[in-house]
Amino acid sequence: MKPIHAKFLIAAGDTRLFPAEGPPEFAFLGRSNVGKSSLINSLLGQKLAHVSSTPGRTRTINFIGLYAKPNQHDPELMLVDLPGYGYAKISREISAEWPKFIEPYLKERQTLQLAIVLIDANVPPQASDQQLIEFLQSSGRDFLVVGTKSDKLSGNKLRNALNLLSREHGIANILAYSAKTGAGRDELWREIRERAAR
Ligand SMILES: Nc1nc2c(ncn2[C@@H]2O[C@H](COP(=O)(O)OP(=O)(O)OP(=O)(O)O)[C@@H](O)[C@H]2O)c(=O)[nH]1
Ligand SMILES: [Mg+2]
């Protein structure tokens, strides 16, 4: 699917605002500040998702439609930017919102094809990430783990960090990604396209 035309569809703070289920969806999850919005922008090559140095910037579920042609009515697939979790200052507010629309989205959305779990490659294993992984496993959701901000670590250090994270979280593979350099972009697109075609 190239070239891609991307359009910001809606910032939904309520299940009633979710767009109708249609194309396959790819949701981006992870702790606040891990780089979800930056990764989406880097995938698209344009700034559609809001990036901020203040954790907790994204407070709604944001749907971005992707189109093969500019005037196409229905998107071919959707990228979904979710609020972050796990940051002390805001975690209470976010955990209050979690059952209202984030959990229903992850549990009930039929067209959710893949949950992409972002983990900062520079941060030691976190209990909140483990909780999310267990939640996805128990809901039977297909998920993929991505290690973000890989540009901050070089060679061996990056490998060791990713090995530790995959061991601690009990997952086979973590895809290294940098929104700054574009490392991992082609691999992640391949994973998305492959599942979108299923
Ligand atoms: N060095 C580096 N910095 C990054 C990268 N990706 C994101 N950042 C920085 O990390 C900060 C948070 O990025 P966001 O994309 O807003 O993170 P988020 O996960 O969407 O955050 P919330 O919406 O608050 O949950 C920003 O200051 C980004 O510039 C990366 O690949 N490399
Ligand atoms: Mg964000």
Counting Cβ atoms within 10 Å, is residue 80 exposed (0-12), middle (13-18) or buried (19+)? buried
Q: Is the pLDDT of residue 48 over 90?
A: no
Average pLDDT across the chain, whole number:
89
Q: What is the CA radius of gyration of the chain?
A: 16
What spacing in Å lies between the alpha carbon of 22 and ligand 1's midpoint?
29
Q: Is the pLDDT of residue 55 over 70?
A: no
Poorest-confidence range of 6-15, 27-36, 92-101, 120-129? 92-101
Q: Is the pLDDT of residue 114 over 80?
A: yes
Poorest-confidence range of 97-111, 127-141, 178-192? 97-111
Counting Cβ atoms within 10 Å, is residue 16 exposed (0-12), middle (13-18) or buried (19+)? exposed
Nearest ligand by distance to the CA of 118 = 1
Nearest ligand by distance to the CA of 84 = 1
Mutate which of 38, 43, 48, 62 for ligand 1? The one with the most ligand atoms within 8 Å of its CB, which is 38
Atom number in ligand 1 closest to CA 53: 27
Question: CA of 117: how far to CAs of 45, 74, 81, 90, 162, in Å?
Answer: 20, 26, 11, 19, 14
Task: Kindly list the structural domains of the chain, giving each domain's residue range(s) and its CATH number in brackets, ordered by start.
Answer: 5-196 (3.40.50.300)
As a whole-number percent, the residues of the chain with pLDDT over 70 amount to 88
Question: CA of 128: how far to CAs of 34, 81, 160, 172, in Å?
Answer: 12, 18, 21, 19
**What 3-state class would DSSP assign to 182?**
coil
- Nearest CA to 191 out of 30, 84, 48, 79 is that of 79
Q: Is the pLDDT of residue 152 over 70?
A: yes
What spacing in Å lies between the alpha carbon of 195 and ligand 1's midpoint?
25
For ligand 1, which residues put their CB under 6 angstroms from it? 30, 32-38, 51-53, 55-58, 84, 148-149, 151-152, 178-180
Q: Is the pLDDT of residue 74 over 70?
A: yes
Mutate which of 31, 50, 51 for ligand 1? The one with the most ligand atoms within 8 Å of its CB, which is 51
Residues with Cβ within 8 Å of 175's Cβ and at least 6 positions away in sequence, in order, are 144, 145, 146, 147, 184, 187, 188, 191
Q: Is the pLDDT of residue 88 over 60?
A: no
Label residue 70 by pLDDT band (50, 70, 90): confident
Counting Cβ atoms within 10 Å, is residue 150 exposed (0-12), middle (13-18) or buried (19+)? buried
Q: What is the pLDDT of residues 91-111, one digit of tens each?
A: 555 566 677 788 889 999 999
Q: What is the mean pLDDT of residues 151-173?
A: 96
Label residue 13 by pLDDT band (50, 70, 90): confident
The more confidently predicted of residues 94 and 170 is 170
pTM score of the predicted model: 0.93
